[in-house]
Amino acid sequence: MRVIAGTYRSRILKTLKGLALRPTSDRLRETLFNVLGPGIAGARFLDLFAGTGAIGIEAFSRGAKEAVFIEKHAPAAKLIRRNLDSLEIRSGFTVMAVDALRGLAMLVSRKSPSGPGFDCIFLDPPYAAAEEYARVLEFLGSAELLAPGGIVVAEHRRNFDLCEEAGTLRRFRVLKQGDAALSFYRRRSGEGR
């Protein structure tokens, strides 16, 4: 697996052998970042169910100023740190080895009311854990973690249709590619900050 574009383009990322990690394909990662476009430069990025960290690292490579990785599987969280270290990324990131909802609650408790939110939140739970999508999207739809104009992107199976709305979040786009799909959410007009 390689970084697709930006500062760390073509650099190799390590993955775990023999475990049920399902890294986002290079092609789908490229599609995601083509959609996010230049808005990723200077952004605060949150990578939930981070696995190898490839999505958050790609955001760094394309100019994100900060990335938070939440991954409950301890060996995967250690791998994220190793991947960051191999690219000599020494600052601007946090790796949280906790469950996604616990990590989100921790981020909410640390955030000051006027503090910056995340410009992009990406979630990619194991496809078999379908209930995680609803729980995390509902939390994000009721929490104050998104920056004004920020978006939430969920990767899921192509044939698994996510909810149209979750709290203040409303789906505005679905991109399908191969067996996977990306659902894009933002706050409904007039809601939130």
- Taken in order of first residue, the domains within the chain and their CATH numbers are 26-187 (3.40.50.150)
Q: Is the dihedral of CA 186, 178, 158, 16 positive or negative?
A: negative
Please answer whether residues 180 and 155 qualify as being in contact, where contact means their C-beta atoms are separated by less than 8 angstroms.
yes
Question: What pLDDT is recorded for position 79?
Answer: 94
pLDDT band for position 193 (cuts 50, 70, 90): very low
Nearest to 69 by CA among 87, 91, 52, 86: 52
Please give the pLDDT value at position 18.
61
**pLDDT, tens digit, 9 for 90 and up, residues 69-117:** 999 999 999 999 999 999 999 999 999 999 999 999 999 998 877 778 9
Q: Shortest CA distance to 122 belongs to which of 108, 136, 109?
A: 136
Evaluate if residue 187 carries a pLDDT over 90: yes
* Contact (CB, 8 A) for 163 and 132: no
pLDDT band at 129 (very low <50, low <70, confident <90, very high): confident
Tens of pLDDT, residue by residue over 20-67, are: 556 777 888 899 999 999 889 999 999 999 999 999 999 999 999 999
What six digits make up the tokens of 68? Answer: 């938070």
Distance, CA of 48 to CA of 25 (rounded, Å): 16
How confident is the model over 143-186, as pLDDT tens digits?
A: 989 999 999 999 999 999 899 999 999 999 999 999 999 999 99
pTM comes to 0.92
